[in-house]
Amino acid sequence: MPPTPPHQPGPSPQLQQAATHAQHGRPEQALAIIRRFLGKKPNDADANNMGALLCAQLTQPDQGLFFAQRASKAAPERADVLVTLGKLLQLSGRHADAADALERAVAIDPSLPDAHMALGACLQHTHRLDDAIDAMRRAVELRPDHIESRVNMGLLHLDRGEADRAADTLREAARLDPGNILVWDALALALNYDWRATPEDTFNAHKRFGDLLERAASPYRSHANDRNTDRPLRIGYLSRDMRRHSVAYFLQSILQAHDPARVQTFCYSTTLSPDDMTDRLRARAGVWRDAGTLNDLALCEKIRADKIDVLVELSGHFSGRRLELLALRPAPVQVSYLGYPATTGLSRIDARLVDSHTDPSPHADTLASERLIRLDPCFLSYEPPPEAPGADEAPAPLPMLETGHVTFGSFNDLKKLSPPTLDAWAALLNRAPGSRLILKNRGFDTPALRARVESLLCERGIAPERVELIGLIRSMREHLDLYSRIDLALETFPYHGTTTTCEALWMGVPVLTIRGEAHAGRVGVSLLSCVGLDGFIADTPEDFARLGAALVADPGSLAQTRAGLRRRMSGSPLCDHNAFARRLESAYHTLFRDWSGSAR
């Protein structure tokens, strides 16, 4: 959330000078002037407000919040000051308090588009998505040319599971401002979920983003790395998701299994909300860097100072991404891996790590700006969370043998519940008389979202009493135990699950998937093939319903698959962390040798 230009200060020459520095891209100098001014007038509302915005720009949320709170105390009825307070509270993760400040701001002055936009962003974080869209729509009405509001509205539609409306909103924003990098970034993300988009559509949006970004960023042309290819390489992993996040459940096994004779690992964590998983990753990393408060240039210099040979970004176009940093090329070899299901669109990212199931050659190669490196048989290495049962423990028995009815389930993100997915699920439930469906998603704590999903299923002939919608479960153990109620897990498409699929398999629940066209819709194929469940892969939505009905019609076979699934998965390449790490290290060495040879 880029800060709004500071409120125009009064006649004070110091504040005018600070504003000039800020307007010319010199926030550090501006903030230094503000600090000196506040040393003499600590309660000046304008100076505190400007200081808060500058701190937000410099990624100093704690200091910024201090200034914002002091400004709001000095001027409690100024809407612009309350907007700043709301933004800083949001940056600090206090979304409910932020929404309160912003609602007061729009009550004082309903004509401020920035206030409505910031309020919409806060309401999005608290999952009041209908109210968030209303706020963002009001921001657009007040300033039709305000592209950021249109981008945020598109992303809100995506969070509601309306990928088609999201893509249409973002395409309109691109028409209005075709050179806006943020628009193409959001559109590229949304098209992964839009069932109408072709792989070529998705690639073209990513490529447009990459071209715009690389045109605006000047990369480092030389790197002082030792070109000796027989030494341990310095590998940097970069992510905001080094916390309780799906990325971490795959990264932790890699860090543990890396051979220090082949690689030395550096983790650049940009998370602002560390947790116990952060601690676990830190313990497994060779070198740990907390980089959440560093801007792109500062982090770029840190990476160069560490002489990273291969920098691996783990976010793609998801929230918290640092693709602008990659466009500066801080490392001689740059790789995209794990956290994103498509190309980044950047030619300055040299490779993307996939496998032959997710990205079959040669067609997939034409849909990537990077070189595709296939880590067959699977591009992932999964380690269950500590709360999960051990590999030798038997999964819970097949629930249908006790309940007398089939229970299907999916714990995937709401964004993935596309109309084609719901159509296929409904067709399956209608082929299995008396069957039930359990869906779990934190958004179901919001009554409006619950009602919407119930209505969508009801339109497809699935009565509400056959559906159970479960909201956020904070305990990982309780979340995993919920799989004991599921007979067969159902995949979403065109965007498959990854961590949800692995969790289901580990808990003994087979997953019924459908083979898609692009990486996002083929991850389930890779995972099921890796554990020997090829018989659970459908090729069309019609096959999905027929296959699912046939599988649950044979409870004896399904129970047998369930009983041995955890042990089977534990012995599969998906959980052979050492073998995977050797393949990964070989890929890094190959890429570095290629650079070293070309750089001579």
One domain for residues 125 and 33: yes
Task: Examine residue 275 and state whether it is found in any structural domain, yes or no.
Answer: yes
H-helix or E-strand containing 583?
A: helix 577-599
Distance CA 534, CA 489 (A): 15
The per-residue pLDDT for 599 is: 56
Can you give the pLDDT at residue 446? 85
When divided into structural domains, the chain yields a total of: 3
Q: Which domain holds residue 518?
A: 400-574
The CA distance from 326 to 517, in Å, is 28
Does one domain contain both 366 and 470?
A: no
What phi-psi label fits residue 71: left (phi over 0), alpha (psi between -120 and 50 degrees) or beta? alpha
In a domain? residue 479: yes
371 with 294, same domain: the answer is: yes
Assigned domain for 2 exists: no
Please report the pLDDT score of residue 10 as a whole number: 57
Residue 393 lies in a domain: no
177 with 96, same domain? yes
Same domain, 82 and 175: yes
Consecutive H or E run containing 512: strand 511-514
Residues 574 and 505: their CA atoms lie apart, in Å, by 11
Q: Are residues 61 and 199 in the same domain?
A: yes
Q: Are 588 and 233 in contact (CB under 8 A)?
A: yes
67 and 128 within one domain: yes
CATH number (domain holding residue 544): 3.40.50.2000
Q: What pLDDT is attached to residue 3?
A: 46
- Tell me if 563 is assigned to some domain: yes
Give the per-residue pLDDT at 545: 97
| Domain presence at residue 392 | no
pTM of the shown model: 0.90
- CA torsion angle for 287, 292, 297, 302 (degrees, to 10)? -10
Q: Are residues 196 and 313 in the same domain?
A: no
Q: What is the C-alpha separation between 489 and 512, in angstroms, rounded?
A: 6
101 with 243, same domain: the answer is: no
Q: What residues of the chain score a pLDDT lower than 70? A: 1-11, 599-600
The CATH number given to whatever domain includes residue 49 is 1.25.40.10
End residue of a domain, out of 169, 188, 216? 216
297 & 259 share domain: yes
Same domain, 336 and 470: no
What strands, in cross-sheet order, belong to the sheet with 407-410? 467-470, 436-440, 407-410, 488-490, 511-514, 537-538
Q: What per-residue confidence (pLDDT) applies to 192?
A: 98
